[in-house]
Every structure is written in C-alpha cells, then in structure tokens.
Amino acid sequence: MNDYKIFVDAAADVDVNYIRENIITVLSMQYTNNFKVIDCTGLETDSYMKNFYDNQRNGETTETRPMPQEYYEGIFEPLVRHGVGVLYLCFSSELSPSYNSAVAAKLALEARYGKLPIYILNSRSATGGVGVLAEEAVNNKRNGYLLDANVQRLTGLCGKIRSWFYVNDLDYLRRDGKTTASKSFIGTLLGVKPILEISSDGVLRQISKKLGSKKACELLKDLYMEHKNTSYNPVVYITHSDDAESASRLKSMILSEDPGTVIKIKTLSPIIGAHTGPGVITIHHIGK
C-alpha cells in the first residue's frame, strides 16, 4: 500500500515549516491552564509558547488531558473506509496513555471491518525524538517505501532514538514525584540542573546533575558525541522551553566538534512543557 498518511501527535516536536511542506498530520491533544481546557495543535507560534511559559513562571498551573479512544476512531475510520492507510508515530506508552487509546481504537475498528492498514508505532520517545522519526518516515515514503516497509524500517529505529535533557526548575519534578520537596527547594536555589534521559524502552530516568546551564549543555553535547550513530546521520532535534539562548549554545557546541550535523531547534510543545516547566533543553538523535 502506497496510499497512506503519516501522523504524529502534539507531544511530538517537528519543525513547523517541515510539517507544512510535507505529508505529516499532527493529531491535537489537550492541556489545561488554570483548569481551562485548551487544544494543542502542535503548530503553536513562538509568541504563543512564550506566553505559555511566562504564565507558568507567574504561577499558573498546567496539566495534560488524555485523548479518549473515540477520538482516534474518528480520525482513523474515514481514512480506512476510503482505502487510505495510517502510520501513527505515537508518544511513548510509558509516558502517556495515548498509545493504548489508539491501539484500542484500531481494535474496535477491526472488530467492525476486519484487518485494517492501521499501524500505531510506540515511538518510545517524545518531543524532538518523534520529530527525528517523522522526518525519517517522510523520507522513506518519498523514496518509494510502501506502508509495510516504512513501518518495518521505523520500528527498527524506535528503540535507537536517544533523548537527553535537563530541567531548570526541580519543583516540576517534585510535583511529578521525581524528587522530594526539600531537594527541590535546595536544587532550585543552587541552580542545579538534573540531567535525564528517555531510555530505549521509553522510560524517564535521571542520570546525572550539573551546576548551571553551561555545564549541563556541555554534558548533553558529550552524551550526543558519545552515543551518536556514525554510520547513520539524519537530523538532530534540540528543543527548549523558552530558553533559545541555551538551545543555540548547545547547537554551537555540537557543530564545533561535528560540523556536518543537521540540527533543528524547536520550542517545546505545551503537552511536554506542562510537565517540565520553563528552562528545559533537550537533544534527540539516532544512537548506536
């Protein structure tokens, strides 16, 4: 099957111009700002995101809301009824219920229509990691990959996406149960940056900490250089939650050692930023 659509959700971060120029559809997700429900399209402007993170700094609460099974059924059913396949690169199942809801939608549709060309890939990643996979999916389709072949290729890459990042305000980790209140308070005062990864099985893990954003960026650069796949060099994504200066610093650090790298910088979407807060820097790439 060569007639198929490529989907990501709004927890992905894909260069907006790339989305508009290519065959990617972003599935909306929802978050709340001071309990008001807001649709996140994944196409928010930088000015919109600046306001989002300023609101967080001013104490407004943000949370995400899972999309129900029926939402995915409504997206997939009209396509498959007209013979169009679905390739959905989904937010890690370890970090969100979206994957399970989408799989349930597929099973419900197959109960009605029989086996369908709906492929829901657990990216085991998030934000720019899904961006890396999305660009690979587009490249494969342009190069003539049929749906099954594209799925097979991407499935092999999902576990190879490496995602490293640091957070600025440990209080957001405390709210999610990642650290204690006292450690959160002390860490915030001292400027300690916890370094985390999304592991190959899609789980969030803290792996280190650094004092200050410059040293934290240096570690992210070192992690990239150590784990990058030298035989396979697609796009690298750096995302940030309203800290373009540090994102640019990290990009410059990498290019000084690896000048051939294609790096795209993107503001972190509200779906991820609702849980991490402002000042986050991430890097995503295909690893060894």
CATH code of residue 9: 3.40.50.10170
Rounded to an integer, the average pLDDT of 198-202 is: 86
Q: Write the DSSP string, 175-230.
A: HTTSS-HHHHHHHHHHTEEEEEEE-TTS-EEEEEEEESHHHHHHHHHHHHHHHB-T
- pTM (2 decimals)? 0.92
CA 146 to chain centre: 25
Contact 8, 237 (CB under 8 A): no
Q: What pLDDT was estimated at residue 174?
A: 59
**Which of 115, 135, 158 is where one domain is finished?**
158
pLDDT beyond 50 at 12: yes
Range of the domain at 205: 161-286
Q: What pLDDT was estimated at residue 189?
A: 58
Are 10 and 85 contained in the same domain?
A: yes
Q: What pLDDT was estimated at residue 77?
A: 97
Rounded to an integer, the average pLDDT of 65-86 is: 96
CATH code of residue 282: 3.30.1180.10
Q: What percent of the chain has pLDDT over 70?
A: 92
Are 151 and 9 contained in the same domain?
A: yes
Lowest-confidence segment of 57-61, 112-116, 157-161, 176-180 by average pLDDT: 176-180
Rounded to an integer, the average pLDDT of 248-272 is: 96
pLDDT beyond 50 at 178: no
pLDDT beyond 70 at 87: yes
The 236-240 sheet, strands edge to edge? 204-211, 192-198, 161-166, 281-286, 236-240, 263-267
